[in-house]
Each structure stands twice: as structure tokens, then as C-alpha cells.
Structure 1
Amino acid sequence: MIKRILIVVLVTISASLVAQRNSSSPYSFFGIGEDVSRTTVEQASMGGIGVALKDVNHLNFINPAANADLRFATYALGGEVSLLNISNGTSEDSGNTTSLRYIALGFPIGKNAGFTTGLQPVSNVGYALLNSTNDTNGDFLEATRFSGNGGTSRLFGAFGINVLKDLAVGFEAAFIFGTINNSISNQRANVSLLTRYEKDTRVRGGQFKLGAQYKRKLNNNLDLNVGLALQLESDLSVTGSEILYSYNFSAFSGLEEPRDTLYNRSVNGKLINPVKTIMGIGIGKENKWYAGIDYEFQDAFVNEGNLVQGSTYKFESSNRLSLGGYYIPKINSISSYWDRITYRGGLRFQKTGLLVDGTNSGTNFTSIDDFGINLGFGLPMPRQLSSLNLGFEYGQKGTTNDNLIKESYFNVRLSLSLNSTNWFKKRQID
């Protein structure tokens, strides 16, 4: 009965994953939105490491080769509450969002292989910005409102297998899809009509990843883990329409009344994602502690068509350095629950790959960097091997230099990792 309820819940909330507004960041205006880290709550709580980590009790979204270690059917569900404060150096604003990070199911295939399938966001769009201009006397001259919503998600399947005693390889295939709406409204003093630009786009494309993990036993029962994942080059098609028109507001209903359409045309573009390389190394003692480091790098995205609006931003190469690990005092302790808790922590330093010109000169581009400090706890549940995972992150993104915006955020993450040894076994007694 519990399994049937779980399936209904997963199907229901998977629909909301595609439709929800997951971001309040002004930086989600650019490209196809703010990139979402494809990590579990457990991995995010360790700074985002995981390409080398081998764990039989939790899923691994970074390296498909890790599926080779699955020994139980594992259901994973993760969510996040994000509290955001933004500043331009002279004024501040705040916002918050609640979102679902992923839904996934993994299970073993024999003794040497495993498979995971799931749904998770790739990018989020959610912003509302107002820019107003007054003359020297403080009288209104012009106001422009920027707003957007939507994003992209991915449906993926990943397979991993042990090809040698200490070597596992894996493959992942994903389908990326989503819709994005961007609009710009402008009003000027002494002009009766307002103008609005709207752009509605659909994003579609496939994505593939290869992975490998190597584990070697050292002295004192220590394990040395090495991992590598390659996300292959892929294309995302961006199609839709854009319209520019004038309008006013009805004196009776207060609703918009469109007047003249300046243009209404189709949008066709392509975003080329170069190869992304993730490599990492870690050392630890099984079911006791682990410390690792991941490094990720990727060349700049390439645009074809009219995906980029104006000349206020462009892409550059990106990279991420993550350090983190976990510690379990005594995993099989009977006398102390606190000794069975998994304590996690980590740091993340990231160059997002986004360049923004806050001066609108077309020549003064600034890199947008991101930094995060992570802390997390894995709380054992009464059911063996299952856990409730809490994660906390404080970070800063961007800068107030050159007329840009600096974000300070605090993320609270929650996930369920439920393990079962008999999900696929035939029921003997009902």
C-alpha cells in the first residue's frame, strides 16, 4: 500500500516540477535561465562533490558509473527553499522560492550493474525588474519593466556496470525540454501608448554523458576513489515567436487593449553545449568518513540564431571547484542515535560562464562568479538504510561593480532517500 501511495505522489509532483517558478534571481534573465546544479541534496551538502564517490545507499547524479554500486532499490525525492537578497550597492530587495529539485528511482541489475531514471530541472527563469528614470526635478521620464518565467527540465536514464573488480563505467541519456517567456514593457512621459516586447520560446534537445570510477584499497582499510565524467557536446533547439506591439489600458475594465503590432515573427535558434569534463579524487573509510575534491570545466556556449537579446551579455568558459566530505561517528550504534547521523560539509567556487555588461556599452563585460558554503545532515530513518537528509547553503553571486547586482542567498534543502530490498520481488502473501 505504501509503495502505491509513493507512486501516486511521484506522478503528481512530477507535473508540478515542469510548471513551477523556481527562481527569483535577476541573472535568470540571460540565455535559457539560471543553471541548476544536477546534484542530490546529499552531494550538494558536500560542496557538490560526487564524481569519484561510490555509495551503495544513495543515488549519484554526477557520474553514471556510480550506478554499478546500487544494491537496493532507491527512491530519491529532493526539494529546496531559497531565500534571496539582492543589492546594487545603493538599494536592496529580497525574495524567496520553493522548488522541487528532483524525483528519481534507481535499482540494481544483477550483482554488477544498476540503472537510475528521474526528472529534474536544468535551468530556471523567474525575474521581475523595474528601471525608472526621472529628470533633474524628480519628474517621471520613463519606466521599463522586465519580467520572465519558465525554464527547462530533463528526463534522464543512467546505467553503470562493473567491468573489472575495481573499475566501473557508465552511460547516461537525457531529453531536455521546457518553455520560457520573456517580456519588456516600456512607458514614457507624455506618450499615451505603452509598448511591449514578448518572446515565447520552446527548448528541446538531447544530452549524453559517459562516466568511469576506479576504487583501490589502501593500507589501514582506506579506499582511494578516482572518477571522471564527460558530458558530450549537444545542441538545444530554441524555437518560438516574438512580438512587439503598443497598447493602453481600458478606462472601464483596467485591462490592456492592444493597438498596433510593429512586428510578429518566428524565433529559430540553437544553443551549442560544448563538452563538459568533471574529474575528482577522494579518500576515506567505508561507512566512516570520506573527503574529496571535484573539478569541472567547460568551454563557452555557442549561440546560433537570435537566442541572445542585444549586446548586454555573452558566454565564456566556465569552471567549478568543489571540496567536501562526510563523517559518521558509528553507523551501527545501538545506544546513540547521534552517532548514526551522517555529518556533511563542503565549499564550492564557481565561474558561471556568464559575462554581463552592466553599463550597456557593449565593451565592459564582467564575469559572474558564485561561491557557496555547505553543511548537511543525514538522519537515519526507522527503516534500515533509508534517510532524511537536510542541507544548508550560504552563498554569494555576482558583484555590485559596474552597475551589476550582487546576490546573497541561503538555501535550505530536504530530501528523502528510501531504500528497499524487495521492491522488485514477487509478493508471496497478500
Structure 2
Amino acid sequence: MKKVVFIALLFCVGSTVAMAQSEDRKAKSGSVYSKLGIGFPVDIASTSARSLGLSGVSYNEINVANLANPAHWGNLVYGLGAGGVGLESFDASQGDNTAQNTHFSIDQFQLQFPVIRGKLGLSASFSPVTQSTFRNYQENVRYVGEGAAQDTLVYGIENRGSGGANRAEIGVGWQISPQFSVGYAASAVFISLDDQFTGAFANTGYQSVTYKLETSGYSFGNRFGAFFRQSELFNEDDELGIGASVSLPVTIGAQREQTSTQGGRTIAISDGPQLGNGDIRLPLNITAGVSYQPGQLTMLAAEGSYEGWSDFKNDFKPSEEDLFTDRYKMGLGFQYFPYITGSNKFLSQFKYRLGASYDTGHLEMQGQKINTLKFSFGLGILSPGPNSNSSMDLSLEYGLRGTNSANLVKEQIWGVRLSLNLAEIMFFRPKLQ
């Protein structure tokens, strides 16, 4: 069964290559690997931590909203908001074939505000869990009939996919003591996937045929977090942070329907093989890390995560389940904030972040794991207002995913992300504070 899915993946890449060689059919999609399952996993991360190759569970930046660890919400001082967009380019290669795809995404949005300043805080957010976006096209020739009545049929088949799983979440964080905080978040997890096939014929005597597979469903999830910090460990300005978060597995009751369009007529089918009702199970996620700030200017952090994708279940695509494997990710990041010194030099007016991460991947094909090595650099731009704590983060990324071994697909990934971090959007400081 693995060979069947492997061949399907090669068809996916080969057809994407065919599109990239023609300007009017240029691909505008994401990673070829997002076709499998319910899309490629998207990590829970704060907007600033992405530039570090981390999630942000192990440290808390007081002026930036943090989605990674619910425990950080107990340390809130300001009302915070965050959101952003990203653009990624995928240069795929398989054998002598190459293709380029592009993908525009809207990242998570989050609002946080303190109920008791520095003690108890709330968070509400919307973020992606997985993303599926691909477009495949292949042209074929088939001979119909025999002898003088034989007809040469030239046709093309296009497969488009979009959607994934998303999370709407609300939670609370509590600082039990100056050193220790905990948090909890409840969420509704939604799945919405479209997988559309269109057959078009060069001969106008044949009508085009389109059918779409639509998968939807929802369930509820739970996430927990803890954070420990110790100041003045080696000097009066340093701080050690240790954080962890756990997202419990989620089983989604989903429905899958097929709609067909031919000659202006639309037919919906909900009964049949791999249609109707079924379960989709998302895995356990554990993320933990440690950070150290020798002073206010610099910080070094290391984080790792585990996702149990070997337990992934999809009743609508059971043939793919053997391709999923447990995922491990490790990251190391460094940040430097020279603006704290108050220097008037131009290069001292920004926040600088640098990071690298290695991801073993959640897929294994032909004995090869689809891993990802990524490097990132971030620039934080402070708001020009004299009393503003807001900032804007620009992040640049470069990564390598997959391998050309065993005739698989290797991707070079170029990405840019822009995030807006708003502080004090909900409160006014008292005049005498």
C-alpha cells in the first residue's frame, strides 16, 4: 500500500513540474507533502519565537503576545494583540525535474489581557493546526475506438487541494508565585478540506468533468502549560526560564461528501467508499525548553517537541496511515536587543533574532523520513511612538525538506513573515502610575 501512495506522490510532483515549465500554468500552492493526510503540521508558536526557530514555551517577552505556553498568560502586564502573514516559496526537485510553488498564509491571531496585572490573565486566539494547499496537473493522450473511427483524445487532469485543521482557543494563566506559573486552554478544533479533480478535453466534443471531495468536522481540545523562572542565578540581571506545554490528542467526528459537476448539473453523494462519517485523530503534542538571559540585552534558548503522529488516524484515507511516524523537532535561538541601551545609533534601534531548527518530520516513505532543516533571521522594528510598546517583526527563513534518495522529492523553502505586535490596546495607564 505504501507503494501506491508513493506513486501518487510522484505523480503529484511530476505534474507540478509540468506546470512550472509553462508560465500560464505556474503553480501557486504549497509543499507537495501537504497532499497527504489533512495537511502539513503547523507549530504553535509566538510571533517573535518563529525568528528563533522556537515555539516560545521557555521564555516570555512582556510586550509580545505568546501563544506557545498558556502559563505565560499569568504574567501579563499589558493588553496584547498579535497577528501576521507569511509568504513561502517551494523549489521542488525530483530526478531531473524541478518545480516552483508559492504559498501565502495568514498566521494566528491572538488577544491577551490581564485580569489581575502580573497575576492572572486571559487569552483568546485562532491558529492553524495543519495546512493543505497543492495544485497538480497532468496531460495525457488516449485513443478511443478502432480503425477509421479511432479518435485521439487529448485531456488534462487537474487536482487542487486546500484547507486543513484550525483551532479557536480561549484560556487562562495564573502566576502562583514569582517563580512558577501554570495555564490551561480549551479549544474547538475544526477541519475543512477540499480536494477537487477536474478533467478537461482538447476536443470540444467532450464535456469537462469536475468532482470535489469535501471533508468537515469539529471536536474539542485541551492544552496545559507550566513555566518556572529563577532570577539572579549568577548575577543580579540574569534569569533562567524552563517551560513546557502539552496538547492532548483530539478525535474529530468528520463527514466527507463528494459533489460532481457535469454539463451544469451538480450531484452530491454522501454514501459510498471513503464517504459519509468517520474519525480523524490528531496526536499528542509535548513541547519543552530552557532559556537563559545573562542580562537584558541577550538571550539564548533551546527547545524541543514531540508529536505522536504514528497514532494518527483518518478513516477516509486509511491507506496513508502507515506513512505517518512520530515527529521530533529541536531548535536553538539567540536574540539581541540593543535598543535597551538607549543608543541613538541607527542599528541599535532594532531587535535582532537568529535561530536554527531540525525537524525529523511526520512522514516516512521508502524508509526515508521527510525531515526539515531550517534557518531563520528576524528583525524587530519598534513603534515610533514615545510611549508605545508595540512592534513589528520581520522574519526571513531558509530551509531544506525531504531528500532525493529513493526517488523522493526534495524542497528548498524560502519564506518571509510579517507580524504585528500591539501592546496596551485595551487599557489606559492611570495618570499617577
Q: Please report the TM-score for the alignment, with normalisation by the length of structure 2.
A: 0.80
SS at match of 1:45: helix
Q: Is the 8 A contact 2:400 2:412 kept in 1?
A: yes
1:424 counterpart = 2:430: no
Quote the residue 1:401 is aligned against.
405
1:205 counterpart = 2:219: yes
Q: Is the 8 A contact 1:49 1:324 kept in 2?
A: no
Quote the residue 1:90 is aligned against.
96
Quote the residue 2:382 is aligned against.
380
Residue 323 (structure 1) aligned to one of 332, 335, 341: 332
Q: Is the 8 A contact 2:299 2:335 kept in 1?
A: yes
Residues 112-171 of structure 1: CA deviation (Å, up to 9, x unaligned):
122221212222221111345679xxx989865432122222111232111122001111
Residue 129 (structure 2) aligned to one of 122, 131, 139: 122
Q: How many residues align?
A: 389
**Counterpart AA for 1:122:** V
SS at match of 1:71: coil
What is the distance in 1 between the residues matched to 2:284 and 2:266?
45
Cα 1:263–1:168, aligned 2, differ >3 Å: closer, same or farther? closer
Quote the residue 2:289 is aligned against.
280
Quote the residue 2:24 is aligned against.
none
Residue 233 (structure 1) aligned to one of 224, 245, 249: 249
What is the distance in 1 between the residues matched to 2:99 and 2:314?
34
What is the distance in 2 between the residues matched to 1:271 and 1:50?
28
What is the distance in 2 between the residues matched to 1:423 and 1:189?
59
Deviation at 1:307, TM superposition (A): 2.4
Q: Is the 8 A contact 1:152 1:203 kept in 2?
A: no
Quote the residue 1:60 is aligned against.
66
SS at match of 1:219: coil
Quote the residue 1:250 is aligned against.
none
Q: Is the 8 A contact 2:312 2:324 kept in 1?
A: no
SS at match of 2:222: strand
Residues 279-323 of structure 1: CA deviation (Å, up to 9, x unaligned):
111111453111010010122253556321645862111110011
Q: Is the 8 A contact 2:398 2:415 kept in 1?
A: yes
Deviation at 1:382, TM superposition (A): 1.6
Cα 1:205–1:37, aligned 2, differ >3 Å: closer, same or farther? same
Quote the residue 2:172 is aligned against.
159
Pick which of 270-279 and 98-107 moved more. 270-279
Quote the residue 1:351 is aligned against.
360
Q: Is the 8 A contact 2:124 2:170 kept in 1?
A: yes
Deviation at 1:414, TM superposition (A): 0.7
What is the distance in 2 between the residues matched to 1:85 and 1:393?
14
Deviation at 1:84, TM superposition (A): 1.9
Equivalences for residues 6-405 of structure 1 within 5 A: 23-110=29-116, 111-131=118-138, 144-184=157-197, 198-217=212-231, 218-220=233-235, 221-242=237-258, 266-304=275-313, 306-308=315-317, 310-311=319-320, 314-356=323-365, 364-383=366-385, 384-405=388-409
Q: Is the 8 A contact 2:135 2:160 kept in 1?
A: yes
**Counterpart AA for 1:400:** N
Deviation at 1:184, TM superposition (A): 4.1
Deviation at 1:264, TM superposition (A): 5.2
What is the distance in 1 between the residues matched to 2:82 and 2:266?
47
Deviation at 1:373, TM superposition (A): 0.2
Q: Is the 8 A contact 2:133 2:161 kept in 1?
A: yes
What is the distance in 1 between the residues matched to 2:343 and 2:284?
48
Pick which of 70-79 and 109-118 moved more. 109-118
Q: Is the 8 A contact 1:201 1:267 kept in 2?
A: no
Cα 1:303–1:81, aligned 2, differ >3 Å: closer, same or farther? closer
Cα 1:299–1:36, aligned 2, differ >3 Å: closer, same or farther? closer
Residues 166-196 of structure 1: CA deviation (Å, up to 9, x unaligned):
0011111121113111134568999978876
**Counterpart AA for 2:44:** R
What is the distance in 2 between the residues matched to 1:150 and 1:96?
16
SS at match of 1:229: strand
Identity %: 22
What is the distance in 1 between the residues matched to 2:73 and 2:227?
10
Deviation at 1:43, TM superposition (A): 0.7
What is the distance in 2 between the residues matched to 1:229 and 1:77?
21
What is the distance in 1 between the residues matched to 2:293 and 2:38?
39
Q: Is the 8 A contact 1:68 1:113 kept in 2?
A: yes
What is the distance in 2 between the residues matched to 1:262 and 1:116?
38
Cα 1:128–1:395, aligned 2, differ >3 Å: closer, same or farther? same
What is the distance in 1 between the residues matched to 2:341 and 2:370?
45
Deviation at 1:106, TM superposition (A): 1.0
Pick which of 98-107 and 341-350 moved more. 98-107
What is the distance in 1 between the residues matched to 2:423 and 2:314?
46
SS at match of 2:342: coil
Q: Is the 8 A contact 2:186 2:220 kept in 1?
A: yes
